[in-house]
């Protein structure tokens, strides 16, 4: 086969080679007439890349000038502007309109920026006439598919032409031409084929004419050595004297395709990428800008920029609670506002601060407020945005981010979720990540690299400060550690006030309706008191809520009010919203059978009675058997107070209360149900904590057996012996057993009260605290929750809207509560 070595390229075609190629193509084309080789059109490259480049640029600029000219002419002639026409037609086409609407903010910004630049550079060009093309993944993919298909087609075409040369075997050549003395000259081409020139007139089906018009045949050889050997043998056999033997010449020839094909994919790839870039730059901006996205921007930082004109309008007053954190971060604000004051004294300002705390506690908000107060640009990026599938991209993005920040200085960089890149490096744990470590290293280098004269402050947010690399936290990098915890009742009240002030509240509307004659300051006073009361009550009902939960709750309240077509949002809307956030959506579609409903009623009554008669249990506000959320068939809501220390008794009472549901089922039915599974989970967790972490087991003593090593779910080994493990199991079980015994004793004593509560619950489905007092009498212990006493006691929380609503607001300096 002639094709085998045709891909092997010895030289890249030069001008001389192009000439020699054309000489080869002639004999081949002459064979076309004999139907041996298909027609090949010469396709030498006619343009260089640079000329192409110039053409593209030239074309783009001509286009914009033509557009500008057309527009001027149209204006002179009073013709409607083409761009306006196109705008009109765009309006007519709903699909285009839709596409435009869907265009994301980023892309629009990019287009605006490009147009701005163009306007500055060349005021003659109307930026509206510039068409900006963005190459999305589809265009690029299509281009590569097309070029691959083209290459494959060309290759098979070239190979099919070569394969048709396989007309003659060496044996045929020997018997039909060589031994008959018809051969005059032999040329070995490319070491695998031989062109044998024949004497004039020796024409057959297999012959063709060479460029000199001589008839010739072609055949392939296995190897040159073999061919030479064979020729020698044949000529020896024919007794041809050595000096008359046929001359054998050697030539390197080939189709131009043989040279082009191997480099074609590379050329297409590079050319394609280059072309796409050039088109984008020439048509997009003419200033070499290019828009966001695309492979060329992969190493660029993805940080979002907020500046004063746009988003950073947030001030410290919008961040409620967390006063200590605000104070701490204030130093950065003062530095950014007046750096010289510090520099004069030779003081070095901290370069960065880590804001740590549970999710939704306002870390990002505080960082934004810092930028808003200081009035400087704020670059916000998430740690995970540094990490890409390409090696080195993370580090490059870090470099780019810091460069941008320095260019905009004074500025603030905020890296959210810094643990995505800032986890401790190479500590021998499973699953090391070199790319992440490179990114972290670059971050460390950049933070070292700028000094306080750069006026760039780096803030970072994380929920897991404990897993951060020590190098990040050392002085000179993130040397301030600001911890933001979930707010206490006062914090929650302040946050509620911030978010309530944005809503139309019923209490405000009531004041406006009932107090028409009062002056503005009096109105303000009444309003702030009403909001204060409302915020206080809501904060008491939401223990454990973070700022984000509170914001969500206020929004949910407003949504519920809107759903009810209410003109303002009242406490009952908020209570529904809280219930929704705490227990999930009411599942009206889940209808329980009467038997199931009875079981749930007794289960919840068991919990409620336990909570009522256990001293350290939290105050109950509501018990319900309406299914909610992901599978809860009933729930009881308590108000735990904000406390930082929990006693052993408290733990035991909580465990007892959690077992109340199952024990009540045992006491009232012949069998038990699956309804207590979630209770058991909680009970086990609490008991394990008491034993493993809190040293509350006398038998195990004051030792922490829990390493807290939750390394991605891998627990390599326990740091205690088998004997201790067995003891731990026994102790965990003992606490639960003790609570179980206490619970059974209590509920057996109060059997009739459980019946009473369960029956009422079965009928009404919801019981509030007031109902409980009516059914079982007041709680025998004083409530331990001040917030409860202050805001909830005496009122009926979660009862729903009373028949008659509306009240007269009066300002009473002594009163503390809403009533």
**Rule CB under 6 A: which residues touch ligand ATP?**
319-322, 359-365, 416, 461, 463, 495, 498, 547-548, 551
Residue 320: CB minimum distance to ligand ATP, A = 4
Give the C-alpha separation, 488 to 542, whole Å.
10
Residue closer to ligand ATP, measured from CB, 13 or 547: 547
Residue 384: CB minimum distance to ligand ATP, A = 12
DSSP assigned state of 502: T
Give the C-alpha separation, 619 to 792, whole Å.
10
Q: Residue 493: which of 529, 528, 526, 540 has the closest Cα? A: 540
Burial readout 411-441 (b: 16 or more C-beta within 10 A, e: otherwise): bbbbbbbbbbbbbbbeeeeeeeeebbbbbbb
Question: Locate tokens 């392939």: which residue?
Answer: 220
Give the C-alpha separation, 544 to 541, whole Å.
10
CA dihedral 422, 424, 426, 430 (to 10 degrees): -100
Residue 282: CB minimum distance to ligand ATP, A = 42
Helix (H, G, I), strand (E, B) or coil at 705: coil
Residue closer to ligand ATP, measured from CB, 551 or 655: 551
Residue 13's contacts (CB-CB under 8 Å, 6 or more residues apart) are 21, 256, 259, 260
Q: Which residue is nearest to ligand ATP (CB)?
A: 547
Reduced DSSP (H G I as helix, E B as strand, rest coil) percent helix, strand, coil of the chain, to 5: 55, 10, 35
Is the peptide bond between 410 and the residue preceding it cis, with omega within 30 degrees of 0?
yes
Residue closer to ligand ATP, measured from CB, 361 or 542: 361
DSSP assigned state of 246: P
Residue 546: CB minimum distance to ligand ATP, A = 7
Burial class (CB in 10 A: 0-12, 13-18, 19+), 713: exposed
Q: Residue 182: which of 200, 164, 161 has the closest Cα? A: 200
Residue closer to ligand ATP, measured from CB, 360 or 627: 360
Burial class (CB in 10 A: 0-12, 13-18, 19+), 65: middle
Residue closer to ligand ATP, measured from CB, 362 or 606: 362
Residue closer to ligand ATP, measured from CB, 288 or 359: 359
Burial readout 281-318 (b: 16 or more C-beta within 10 A, e: otherwise): bbbbbbeeebbebbeeeebbbbbebbeeeeebebebee
Residue 570: CB minimum distance to ligand ATP, A = 22
241 Cα distance to chain centroid: 84
Q: Residue 247: which of 179, 173, 185 has the closest Cα? A: 185
Give the C-alpha separation, 461 to 805, whole Å.
45
For 556, other C-beta atoms within 10 Å of its C-beta total 18
Residue 43 tokens, joined: 């396709």
Residue closer to ligand ATP, measured from CB, 286 or 461: 461
Residue 496: CB minimum distance to ligand ATP, A = 9
Residue 551's contacts (CB-CB under 8 Å, 6 or more residues apart) are 495, 499
Helix (H) or strand (E) holding 216: strand 215-220
What positions carry a catalytic annotation? 604
Residue 366: CB minimum distance to ligand ATP, A = 7
Q: Rg of the chain's alpha carbons, rounded to an integer?
A: 42
Question: Locate tokens 């012949």: which residue?
Answer: 670
Residue 318: CB minimum distance to ligand ATP, A = 6
Residue 562: CB minimum distance to ligand ATP, A = 19
Residue closer to ligand ATP, measured from CB, 499 or 573: 499
Give the C-alpha separation, 174 to 183, whole Å.
10
Residue 537 tokens, joined: 């009550």
Residue closer to ligand ATP, measured from CB, 319 or 767: 319
Residue 566's contacts (CB-CB under 8 Å, 6 or more residues apart) are 506, 573
Residue 361: CB minimum distance to ligand ATP, A = 5
Phi and psi, residue 196, nearest 5°: -110, 115
Q: Residue 568: which of 525, 497, 516, 513 has the closest Cα? A: 513
Residue closer to ligand ATP, measured from CB, 333 or 658: 333
Residue closer to ligand ATP, measured from CB, 273 or 548: 548
CB 79 within 8 A of CB 69: no
Angle of helix 751-764 relative to helix 648-668, nearest 10 degrees, comes to 80
Residue 363: CB minimum distance to ligand ATP, A = 4
DSSP assigned state of 201: T
Residue 816: CB minimum distance to ligand ATP, A = 24
């Amino acid at each position: 086969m002639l094709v085998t070595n045709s891909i092997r390229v010895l030289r890249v075609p030069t001008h001389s080679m192009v000439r020699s190629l054309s000489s080869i193509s002639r004999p081949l084309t002459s064979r076309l007439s004999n139907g041996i080789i298909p027609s090949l059109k010469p396709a030498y490259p006619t343009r260089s890349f640079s000329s192409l480049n110039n053409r593209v640029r030239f074309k783009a600029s001509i286009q914009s000038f033509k557009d500008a000219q057309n527009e001027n002419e149209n204006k002179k002639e009073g013709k409607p502007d083409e761009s306006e026409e196109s705008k009109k037609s765009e309006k007519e086409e709903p699909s285009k309109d839709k596409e435009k609407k869907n265009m994301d903010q980023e892309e629009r910004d990019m287009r605006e920026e490009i147009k701005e630049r163009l306007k500055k550079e060349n005021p003659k060009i109307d930026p509206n006439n510039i068409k900006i093309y963005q190459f999305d993944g589809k265009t690029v993919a299509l281009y590569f598919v097309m070029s691959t298909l083209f290459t494959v087609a060309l290759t098979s075409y070239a190979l099919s032409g070569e394969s048709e040369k396989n007309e003659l075997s060496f044996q045929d050549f020997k018997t039909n031409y060589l031994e008959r003395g018809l051969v005059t000259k032999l040329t070995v081409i490319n070491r695998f084929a031989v062109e044998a020139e024949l004497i004039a007139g020796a024409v057959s089906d297999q012959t063709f004419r060479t460029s000199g018009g001589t008839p010739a045949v072609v055949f392939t050889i296995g190897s040159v050595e073999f061919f030479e050997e064979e020729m020698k043998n044949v000529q020896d056999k024919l007794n041809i004297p050595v000096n008359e033997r046929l001359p054998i010449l050697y030539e390197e020839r080939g189709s131009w395709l043989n040279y082009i094909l191997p480099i074609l994919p590379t050329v297409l790839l590079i050319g394609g990428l280059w072309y796409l870039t050039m088109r984008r730059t020439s048509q997009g901006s003419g200033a070499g800008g290019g828009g966001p996205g695309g492979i060329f921007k992969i190493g660029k930082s993805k940080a979002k920029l907020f500046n004063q004109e746009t988003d950073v309008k947030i001030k410290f007053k919008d961040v409620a609670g967390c006063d200590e954190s605000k104070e701490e971060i204030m130093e950065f604000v003062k530095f950014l506002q007046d750096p010289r004051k510090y520099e004069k004294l030779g003081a070095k300002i901290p370069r960065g601060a880590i804001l740590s705390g549970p999710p939704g506690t306002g870390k990002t908000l505080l960082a934004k407020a810092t930028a808003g107060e200081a009035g400087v640009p704020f670059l916000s990026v998430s740690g995970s945005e540094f990490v890409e599938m390409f090696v080195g991209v993370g580090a490059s993005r870090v470099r780019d981010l810091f460069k941008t920040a320095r260019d905009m200085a004074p500025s603030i960089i905020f890296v959210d979720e810094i643990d995505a890149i800032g986890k401790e490096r190479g500590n021998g744990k499973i699953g090391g990540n070199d790319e992440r470590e490179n990114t972290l290293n670059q971050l460390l280098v950049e933070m070292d690299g700028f000094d306080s004269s750069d006026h760039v402050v780096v803030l970072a947010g994380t929920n897991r400060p404990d897993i951060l690399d020590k190098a990040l936290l050392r002085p000179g990098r993130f040397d301030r550690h600001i911890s933001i915890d979930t707010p206490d009742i006062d914090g929650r009240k302040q946050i509620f006030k911030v978010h309530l002030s944005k809503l139309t509240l019923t209490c405000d509307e009531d004041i406006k309706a009932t107090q028409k004659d009062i002056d503005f300051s009096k109105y303000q006073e009444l309003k702030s008191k009403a909001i204060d009361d409302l915020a206080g009550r809501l904060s008491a009902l939401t223990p454990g809520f973070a700022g984000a939960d509170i914001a969500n709750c206020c929004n949910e309240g407003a949504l519920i009010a809107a759903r009810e077509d209410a003109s303002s949002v009242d406490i009952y809307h908020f209570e529904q919203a809280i219930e929704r956030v705490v227990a999930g959506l009411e599942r009206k579609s889940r209808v329980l059978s009467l038997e199931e409903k009875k079981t749930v009623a007794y289960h919840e009554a068991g919990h409620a009675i336990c909570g009522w008669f256990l001293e350290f249990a939290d105050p109950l506000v509501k018990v319900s058997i309406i299914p909610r959320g992901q599978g809860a068939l009933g729930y009881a809501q308590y108000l735990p107070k904000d406390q930082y220390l929990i006693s052993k008794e408290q733990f035991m009472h909580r465990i007892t209360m959690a077992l109340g549901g199952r024990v009540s089922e045992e006491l009232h039915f012949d069998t038990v149900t699956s309804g207590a599974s979630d209770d058991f989970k909680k009970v086990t967790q609490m008991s394990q904590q008491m034993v493993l972490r809190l040293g509350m087991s006398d038998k195990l003593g004051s030792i922490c057996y829990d390493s807290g090593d939750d390394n991605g779910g891998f627990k390599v080994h326990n740091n205690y012996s088998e004997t201790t493990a067995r003891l731990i199991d026994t102790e965990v079980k003992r606490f639960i057993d003790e609570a179980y015994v206490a619970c059974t004793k209590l509920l057996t004593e109060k059997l009739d009260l459980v019946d009473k509560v369960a029956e009422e619950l079965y009928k009404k489905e919801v019981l509030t605290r007031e109902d409980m007092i009516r059914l079982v009498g007041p709680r025998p212990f004083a409530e331990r929750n001040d917030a409860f006493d202050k805001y909830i006691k005496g009122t009926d929380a979660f009862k729903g809207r009373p028949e008659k609503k509306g009240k007269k607001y009066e300002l009473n300096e002594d009163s503390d509560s809403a009533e």
